Amino acid sequence: MTSRSVEDHARAVARLLGPALTPHTESVAVAAALGRVLDADVHSPLDLPPFRNSQMDGFAVAADSVRAVPVTLPVSATVAAGSAGPARLVPGSAVRIMTGAPLPDGADAVVPVEDTEPTAGATTDTVTVHRGRASGEFVRDRGGDVHAGELLLGAGAVLTARHLAMFAAVGAAELPVRRRPRVAVLTTGSELVAAGNPLRPGQIYESNGIALAASLTTNSADVVFAESSTDDPDQFRDLLRRATESADLVLTSGGVSMGEFEVVREVLTPLGGWFGHVAMQPGGPQGLTVVDGVPVLSFPGNPVSTLVSFEVFARPLLLRAAGLAPVHAGARALAGPLTSPAGRRQFLRGRLVDEGVRLESGPGSHLVAALARADVLIDVPADVTTMEAGENVQVWPL
Ligand code: AMP
Ligand code: MG
């Protein structure tokens, strides 16, 4: 069986997946852009606010006319949000105005309604102002937030609710975002049962498909196909054909090691796939094939192996395709000793603690509940067999 280092396999994967993960821009509706990566600088098409308007319910006045208070002014008009209102304020009068309504020319301040009272016994509409306001008070200027042509947000930002609020406010209908790779997930194993069904003897619940789909979504890919095959080659072949029809990239789990009924290896090797051993633990058996022009990346089926394989081989490429920052390893002190097999790079599950990083479980690649408690992978180099508490290791955030 052929064998290669983690680095060599990662390079082979990058080469094969490169065309499928080439960055492209697409346009999506603002309402559908949450979580997407902006793929170009976006400038404002208009001033915001688009017109001078009132910040309060109250009375638009010339500040000069309310310098000496109390003062009683005739109310010449009422303007609500959404109505154009009078073009000009008659000098010496007030316009009753609601929050967001346009300020008439000639008015330069708003007296909040709390600082006024309707004049008692008056036959005409008048208001008595008790507290004067300086020019500009409670007035929102046109362009006071952003000016037409100003940069709203730079390429590379991950769009949040507050970004979408801004784009909606300037009237943007669509945004240029990085296209998400379309990925198919195909798990294998005749023992697998979907949640919601009873377990018969020898069966287990399918978890890799759920885990891979979630990992893809987290790393800015679209899951366009998610199915589980038995170890029957015909069924696998059939599902694989459907997967390659719909996706830029296919991830498979299970069926790649040296036992019998290794359906992924058996079906893909004759199609020119590479199946071999990568000097790592977990995740030793790996596969890489191109089927009808679509790269198929095959991970071993143990749940921890599947997710570690995703972290090591798929995630860095997806992050790059998405225009997102790579995962940065950092050095942490080991909270306790560890041992590791010679000649294999080991990715142990760890948890960050005050003292540094502690092992979260043994090396068993079936320990999926222990994996859930981990927040980092501890990267033990291939030539290291023992480490003491206090020694520094590289950890990869999960
Ligand atoms: P395999 O790589 O197919 O030999 O599978 C290795 C181990 O992982 C076996 O114990 C399988 O039952 C288990 N396994 C394989 N695929 C899945 C899956 N999708 N969900 C949960 N466990 C799996
Ligand atoms: Mg299997």
Q: How far apart are CA 29 and CA 46, in angstroms?
A: 19
Output the residue whose Cα is nearest ligand 1's atom 15.
Answer: 301
CA–CA distance, 305 with 156 (Å, rounded to integer):
31
- What is the pLDDT, as a whole number, of residue 185? 98
- Each residue's pLDDT, cut to its tens digit, for the chain (398 residues) gives 789 999 999 999 999 999 999 999 999 999 999 999 999 999 999 999 999 999 999 999 999 999 999 999 999 999 999 998 788 999 999 999 999 999 999 999 999 999 999 876 656 799 999 999 999 999 999 999 999 999 999 999 999 999 999 999 999 999 999 999 999 999 999 999 999 999 999 999 999 999 999 999 999 999 999 999 999 999 999 999 999 999 999 999 999 998 889 999 999 999 999 999 999 999 999 999 999 999 999 999 999 999 999 999 999 999 999 999 999 999 999 999 999 999 999 999 999 999 999 999 877 888 999 999 999 999 999 999 999 999 999 999 99
Identify which of 192, 256, 302 to mutate to test ligand 1's pocket (most ligand atoms within 8 A of the CB). 302
Task: Give the ligand with the smallest distance to the CA of 257.
Answer: 1
Rg of the chain on CA atoms, in Å:
32
Domain 330-397: CATH superfamily is MoeA, C-terminal, domain IV (2.40.340.10)
Q: Is this model's pTM higher than 0.85 or not?
A: yes
Which single residue is written with the structure tokens 């995740």?
A: 283
Q: What angle do CA 34, 186, 325 make, to 5 degrees?
A: 40
Residue nearest to atom 10 of ligand 1 (CA): 302
Going by DSSP bridges, is the β-strand pair 249-253/330-333 parallel, antiparallel, or unpaired? unpaired
- Ligand approaching nearest to the C-alpha of 253: 1
- CATH 2.40.340.10 maps onto the chain at 330-397
Residue 121: per-residue pLDDT: 62
- Ligand 1 center to 389 CA (angstroms): 33
Domain(s) of CATH 3.40.980.10: residues in the chain: 9-24+184-322
Report the candidate in 173, 137, 178 with the shortest Cα–Cα distance to residue 156.
Answer: 178
User: How close are the terminal C-alpha atoms of the chain, in Å?
Assistant: 31
Q: Which residues, judged by CB distance below 6 Å to any ligand atom, belong to the binding site of ligand 1?
A: 187, 189, 191-192, 204, 206-209, 253-255, 257, 300-303
Q: What is the pLDDT of residue 120?
A: 61
User: What phi and psi values does residue 292 have, to the nearest 5 degrees?
Assistant: 50, 40
Ligand 1 pocket, mutate which of 204, 261, 262, 368 (most atoms under 8 A from CB): 204
- Cα gap 38→40, rounded to integer Å: 6
Residue 122: what pLDDT?
A: 59
Q: What is the second-level CATH architecture of the domain 53-140?
A: Beta Complex (2.170)
Q: How far is the CA of 189 from the centre of ligand 1 (A)?
A: 6
Residue 302 CA, ligand 2 centroid: distance in Å: 9
CA distance 287 to 226: 19
Q: Which CATH superfamily does the domain covering 25-48+144-178 fall into?
A: Molybdopterin biosynthesis moea protein, domain 2 (3.90.105.10)
Ligand 2 centroid to Cα of residue 144, in Å, is: 62
Query: In this structure, are residues 348 and 363 in contact, taking their beta carbons and an 8 Å threshold?
Result: yes
Query: Where are the CATH 3.90.105.10 domain residues in the chain?
Result: 25-48+144-178
CATH superfamily placement of domain 9-24+184-322: MoaB/Mog-like domain (3.40.980.10)
CATH 2.170.190.11 domain locations along the chain: 53-140
Nearest 5°: the CA angle 33, 154, 43 is 85
Could you tell which of 185, 186, 190, 192 is best to mutate to test the pocket of ligand 1, judged by most ligand atoms within 8 Å of the CB? 192
Q: Of 128, 165, 144, which Cα lies nearest the Cα of 54?
A: 144
Tell me the C-alpha distance between 310 and 397, whole Å.
Answer: 13
> Atom 16 of ligand 1 has which residue's CA nearest to it?
301
Do residues 379 and 344 make contact, with C-beta atoms less than 8 angstroms apart? no
